[in-house]
Amino acid sequence: MSLRAKILRAVLRGTVRPALARAHDPARERARFDRWAARVFPPPRDVSLREITAGGMALRLDPPQAGAGMILYFHGGAYLTGSPRTHAWMVGALARRAGVAAVLPRYRLAPEHPAPAAFDDALAAWQALRGQGVAAGQMVLGGDSAGGGLALALLGHLCRAGAPPAGAFAFSPWTDLTLSGASLHGNARCDHYLPAERMTEARAMVLQGLDPADPRVSPLFADFPDPPPVLVHVAATEILRDDALRLADVLPGAEIRVAGDLPHVWPFFHAVLPEGRATLDATAGFIRGCLAPSLTDS
């Protein structure tokens, strides 16, 4: 681990994790996250941003000289917080590296809009882009944390429908709302970001009676017939480590990369974290590889 990673771990453990442990008002946390991201994490200057309609409002990011193909990306935030704007910083850097545009839908959040509202909005965004002429084979799904679970849930639905995307990737995905992963307890003390003791409360706000094993919220229990390439990144010390590792049971062809002692969704901190930049570089290469066959065929 780099010295910067060690410093970042200490900062997150002393500031963000205690704040999340005390948070009880999702609306207030959304506003705080939005203000913090706008001030500390502005989008890359050479990536253009514009709002578009893709089922609902979405943010489109276009890097310079973008080629054909597209990333359809779902932001994280436990289905309670976050927005396309909070994640434009990281996804813009990824889109620039991959050389393709990215679309970040604004999906409805709990507790005002419990599951499966987020999944319904994700599917609507996919269908809208398809209706606008974007081929399934020219899109790669992606997301982080809850958004990573959402991307994989959508992937399962599309595989079962026989029209999968070119590929999918996820950073530290939340794939199991039954909360049955051993790392949820085993890594409770060493996760630098997420407070394990709040996961049951967060789940209750999201589900509000929905079966936690429903594949629309827990893709760990989904079927993925004939899936495209899938890449998953997770850190060894995360409470969601086993949410990623157990994907090998339902996606045996997926590449699951386990990093060392890094914080949850560490690519978010790519500006200061060399490990974050390396992960974005690797993911960009994966995206280009997924899109290359369809673009050659077209």
Residues 144-174: tens digit of each pLDDT: 999 999 999 999 999 999 999 999 999 999 9
Domain 3-297 has CATH 3.10.180.10: no
Pair of tokens at residue 62: 């276009």
Mean pLDDT across the stretch 194-216? 97
Contact between 201 and 174 (Cβ < 8 Å): no
Catalytic residues: 145, 238, 264
Does position 56 have pLDDT exceeding 60, yes or no?
A: yes
Amino acid 297: pLDDT: 55
245 contacts 234 by C-beta, under 8 angstroms: yes
Mean pLDDT over residues 225-239, rounded?
98
Q: What was the pLDDT predicted at 294?
A: 64
Residue 295 has pLDDT above 70, yes or no: no
**Burial label, 189 (beta-carbon count in 10 A; 0-12, 13-18, 19+):** exposed
Q: What percent of the chain clears pLDDT 90, i.e. is strictly above it?
A: 88
For the chain, give the mean pLDDT: 95
For residues 253-261, average pLDDT? 97
Strand 57-62 relative to strand 48-53: parallel, antiparallel, unpaired?
A: antiparallel
Q: Provide the CA 199 distance to its chain's centre, in angstroms.
A: 17
How many other β-carbons are positioned within 10 Å of the β-carbon of residue 251? Answer: 23
Rounded to an integer, the average pLDDT of 128-154 is 98
pLDDT of 238 above 70:
yes
pLDDT in tens, 59-93: 999 999 888 899 999 999 999 999 999 999 999 99
Do the beta carbons of residue 212 and residue 278 sit within 8 Å?
Answer: no
pLDDT at 288: 97
Count CA within 13 A, CB hemisphere, residue 12: 20
Assess contact for 239 and 199: CB atoms under 8 A: yes
Residues 244-251 have a mean pLDDT of 98
Take residue 216 and report the two structure tokens written for it.
């629309």
Domain residue extents for the chain: 3-297
Is 298's pLDDT higher than 60? no
